[in-house]
Structure 1
Amino acid sequence: MTEFGEILKAIGEFGRFQKWLVLLMCIPNFLTPFHMFGQVFIVRDVPHYCNTSWIRALSPNLTTKQELNLTLPRKPDGSFEDCSMYTPVQEDIESIRKYGLNATEKCQDGWVYPSQPKPTLLTEFNLVCDRKNLNDISQSIYMGGLLAGALVFGPLSDRIGSRWMILLTLLLMGSFGVGAGFAPNFYIYVALRFIVGAAFAGISISMAALSSEWVGASYRAVAQIITHCCNALGQMALAGLAYAIRDWRLYQIVGSAPVFALFFYIWVLPNSARWLLTKGKIKEAQKVLQKAASINKRTVPEELLNQLAPEKKVKSGNILDIFKMPHLRKMTLIMAWVWFADSFVYYGVSLHVGNFGLDIYMTQLVFGAVEIPSRASCIFLLQWLGRKKCQAAWLLLGGIVCLLIPAIPKDFPVIVTVLAVIGKSALAASFSTSYVFSSEVFPTVVRQTSLGLCSMSARVAGILSPLVGLLDMYHPAIPMVLFGSTALIAGILCFFLPETRNKDLQDNTAKSSSKQGSMKAVNTSFKNGPVEQKEDGQTVESVKSTHL
């Protein structure tokens, strides 16, 4: 019997069909940064002070300068306090001018933002002073949505297929993203963003699985990384969009609405032929394979398609299947930590783009631009050095850079920014490598469930990442030391993973033979359907993977 990789060679491993599929995957990847990093721009810190209009009841003719001088205490540098005011009194204005006010308290009647002409999330919902932490908390809740999406949509995608999952999650991301622009209060906004985050996780998992299952072994890295480069282009476009649209509600709508233009996916997005085979849907698999061959201007022999046969005992993989087998358990735990490190460090740097002392829009543009060469280089490096070495190298580089940043004096912000850019580009490349590596290292029957687990680990890191910055109150070096050490540990663990370069995807959960150089040697020894094996003198029936 022929392996699935052989029929991919017959229809074309990376022909016009696969290129169109990659292009379709690029469009959502271009749009997702508007949701992932957009809040950095709509919650920018702006000058503010307490609303002290109470004094105008005593003297309505006061100028703004007079009002502030009478009602606001000053900092040591002479500027007005942001979060405190003098306690209102019932005395006449002349007494206040003569003797002044002494007692202070927190802002009671809101804040005034003198230099902000357009409404932002910060100014509309007063995310300042005691409410300032709500920004970081809301980012963690959004990451919590990604965690929930990974937990729910990963296994669900294994059941209903990548195609329908992508369509469903695109609809959710667009609908609730636009809805967030009409949120009447901050808490509803956060709840809607949670759902957007869950949808984003489902899109990421399903697109990674669909693109990897339709291309040949030597083209998987190309397919995945091209879509990731489009994500970097989206980050660059984000800088321009955020610069042009300062009204947060309009930004939310404009950044989310383009997803609805992808409604045509319902007619052009294919199902995974591999997934159809694992579900025993032979006729549908034959149909989609013939369509792919036709688009690639290839002809698949009828007798080859007729060899497709469903498994007699087929069921979706689940989490228990992954942890029953030692080799799968080890790979899953290591890859989960790798994804955790990727997310922990990547978002730890990305979400603090405004803390480097340079123009936030220019910094975001640079952050997006440097990811393109770092991600694109993976196309060649993954084929040259292999998946395992590249994954380890990117993580080790990112970890070392993070450990160097605290050692640089604050008087050299440019050096700190350069190191941050290097670290972010290294972790971006590591993220791309993780998607390729994970898609190849797990069997088809549990691939999307495994990717869901890895994505779930990454989302836990995403939840923690915005909150780690709060630890700098104890020592400013703590956050970067945590980021750096996490990446270093992940880089070392990568050396315990198998190499998957130029190997066909494995369909079942059996351990591949270490003596054979590829999965092909393992899979060709299998037969379709139940196979009888002798174990301790007894006949045991087992189910092997589906092949052509």
Structure 2
Amino acid sequence: MAQFGEILQNIGDFGLFQKVILLALCLPNIIMPFQFANVYFTESDPERHCTTDWILRVSPNLTSEEQLNLTLPREDDGSFSRCRMFVPVDWDVDAIREYGLNETTGCQHGWKYNSLLYETTIVTDFDLVCDKANLVQVAQTVFMAGVLVGCLLFGPFAESFSLNLAYFCLSFNVGKFGLSIFLTQAIFGLSEIPAHILCIWLLEVFGRKVSLMSTLLIAGVLCLLLLAFPEGNAVAVTILATAGRIFSNWAGSVCSVYVQELFPTSFRQTASGLGSIASRAGGLLAPLLNMLAVYHWSIPTVVFGTLSLISGGLAFVLPETSSKELPDTTDEAEDNR
């Protein structure tokens, strides 16, 4: 029986038919990032405060500033609370001014959203704020669960791999780096181009094993370096997050080639589908990991940065497959070690 490598040699070089197929397969990969990027904008959380129009029934001539001063408590930094209000009372406005209000409660009559960057988002439509803020990450998880189910249903046709935990943790936080979300997303989008193009050169010069190890390790280090800068340092945080995302994306591109060469022909496509499912599972866990930021903002960064370092270290045990024939059997794959 002819071996797979011999068949490839007899077929010939990468011809017109293969190029047309490649271009056709590129179309879903071009559309897919737009689907993922959509959630960054539809889940924007604008400035807000509790609706306190109850006091206008007591004194309808109050200015907006007076209304807020009389009905909303302030945070430690002097800003109005985004989730609390003073309990409504039956006093006249002079008594409220003189004695003030002390007892607070959650927003009883909804929220008023200010400085809207978008006309509407799922946050403003469904009031996913304060006690319901984590439902935004739940929505992201449901979205990624749908992607995972798609991989389970269409696994034999599925290929991924620049999707992983660190990639999506950084991507889902695109609006929290301090710069304009449009600018940050443009930077993220443009970073995809060199990541995939340079991957071709990287694989040829350094091989698969070194490429995967270096990109994962560098991505992990860059992510952990985010801890060295305060959240208010928007430029430094954005630069590090973008660089970390580039190397995560780069590692994913290396993986998409590497996994094809590690496994024998007998179950190469199955392994590819399982790898895609694992990648989608990482995307599924990313929103849930970001939810841990309510305990401390550094927890998600520590977790996905550390996992990248561990993955890069574990890649050391993998065999180098560059310039080797694709294995046809399990024994041939084992011989590559």
TM-score (structure 1 length as normaliser): 0.56
> Looking at CA atoms only, which structure, 1 or 2, has the larger radius of gyration?
1
Deviation at residue 85 of structure 1 after TM alignment: 1.0
- 69 and 516 in structure 1: CA distance in 2 versus 1, 3 angstrom threshold: closer
Aligned to 2:135: 134
Q: 1:500 to 1:467 in 2, by over 3 A?
A: same
Specify the alignment match of 1:122 in structure 2.
Answer: 123
Instruction: Output one character per residue of 1:146-196: Cα deviation in whole Å (capped at 9) or x when no partner.
Output: 333333332xx3xxxx4xxxxxxxxxxxxxxxxxxxxxxxxxxxxxxxxxx
| Residue 88 (str. 1) matches residue 84 (str. 2) | no
Structure 1 residue 66: deviation in Å? 3.5
Contact kept? 2:264, 2:326, Cα under 8 Å? yes
Q: Give distance in 2, aligned partners of 1:513 and 1:477.
A: 41
Q: Is the 8 A contact 1:349 1:424 kept in 2?
A: yes
Task: Give the deviation of 1:427 after TM superposition.
Answer: 0.7
Q: Of 409, 422, 425, which residue of structure 1 is paired with 2:243?
A: 422
1:441 CA drift (Å)? 1.9
Q: SS at 1:78's partner residue?
A: coil
Question: Match for residue 451 of structure 1?
Answer: 272
Matched residue of 1:141: which SS? Answer: helix
The alpha-carbon deviation at position 347 of structure 1 amounts to 1.3
Equivalent residue, structure 1, for 2:330: 510
Specify every segment of 5 or more residues in structure 1 that has no aligned partner in the other structure, as ranges.
163-201, 209-227, 229-341, 518-548
The equivalent residue for 2:28 is: 28
Per the TM alignment, residue 466 of structure 1 is displaced from its structure 2 partner at its CA by: 2.4
Q: Give the direction of change, closer, same or farther, for the CA distance of 1:499–1:68 in structure 2 (3 Å limit).
A: same
Distance 2:333 2:45 in 1: 57
Report sequence identity in percent. 45
Q: Output the CA distance in 2 between the equivalents of 1:120 and 1:467.
A: 20
Name the CA distance, whole Å, in 2 between partners of 1:515 and 1:466: 40
Cα distance per residue 1:202-226 (max 9 Å; x no partner): 4x46xx8xxxxxxxxxxxxxxxxxx
Letter in 1 for 2:55: I
Q: Name the CA distance, whole Å, in 2 between partners of 1:95 and 1:409.
A: 43
Asked whether the 8 Å contact 1:405–1:416 carries over to 2, the reply is: yes
Q: Which amino acid aligns with 1:500?
A: T
- 2:201 paired residue number: 380
Deviation at 1:510, TM superposition (A): 2.8
In structure 1, distance between residues paired with 2:164 and 2:336: 34
* Structure 2: gaps spanning 5 or more residues: none
1:152 paired to 2:153:
yes
Measure the CA separation in 2 of the matches of 1:7 and 1:384: 26
Q: Could you say what secondary structure the match of 1:511 adopts?
A: helix
Letter of the structure 2 residue corresponding to residue 373 of structure 1: P
Amino acid at match of 2:143: Y
Query: Is 1:38 aligned with 2:7?
Result: no
Q: Tell me: CA distance 1:477–1:120, structure 2 relative to 1, closer, same or farther (3 Å).
A: closer
1:354 aligns with 2:185: no
Shift of 1:481: 2.6
Deviations 1:356-415 (A, max 9, x none): 221211111112222322221111221222212211111111122223332345575433
Matches within 5 A, 1:216-365: 343-365=164-186
SS across alignment from 2:88 = coil
Does the 8 Å CA contact 2:177/2:231 hold for their aligned counterparts?
no
- Describe the shift of the 1:59–1:409 C-alpha distance in structure 2 as closer, same or farther (beyond 3 A): closer
Deviations 1:408-440 (CA, angstroms, capped at 9, x unpaired): 455754333322222111111000111111122
Q: CA deviation at 1:49?
A: 0.8
1:262-295, Cα deviation, whole Å (9 max, x unpaired): xxxxxxxxxxxxxxxxxxxxxxxxxxxxxxxxxx
Residue range with higher mean Cα deviation, 439-448 or 127-136 = 439-448
Provide the C-alpha distance between the structure 1 equivalents of 2:220 and 2:53, rounded to a whole number of angstroms.
51
Where 1:364 maps in the other structure, the secondary structure is helix
Shift of 1:105: 0.5
| Map of 2:307 onto structure 1 | 486
Question: In 2, Cα distance between the equivalents of 1:119 and 1:56?
Answer: 26
- The answer (yes or no) to whether the contact 1:406–1:476 under 8 Å persists in 2 is no
Looking at structure 2, the residues matched to 516 and 32 of structure 1 have their Cα atoms a distance apart, in angstroms, of 35
Q: Does 1:110 align with 2:124?
A: no
Matched, 1:389 2:195: no
**How many residues of Structure 1 are paired with residues of Structure 2 in the alignment?**
336
Alpha-carbon contact 1:147-1:460 (below 8 Å) kept:
yes
Distance 2:177 2:233 in 1: 10
Judging changes above 3 Å, is the alpha-carbon distance between structure 1 residues 513 and 470 closer, same or farther for their aligned structure 2 residues?
closer
1:479, CA displacement in angstroms? Answer: 2.8
What residue identity is the alignment partner of 1:511?
D
Q: Secondary structure of the residue that 1:48 maps to in structure 2?
A: strand
TM-score normalised per structure 2: 0.88
Tell me the distance in 2 between the aligned counterparts of 1:478 and 1:143. Answer: 21
414 and 105 in structure 1: CA distance in 2 versus 1, 3 angstrom threshold: same
Q: For 1:506-545, what aligned pairs fall within 5 Å after superposition?
A: 506-507=327-328, 509-512=329-332
- The alpha-carbon deviation at position 514 of structure 1 amounts to 6.2
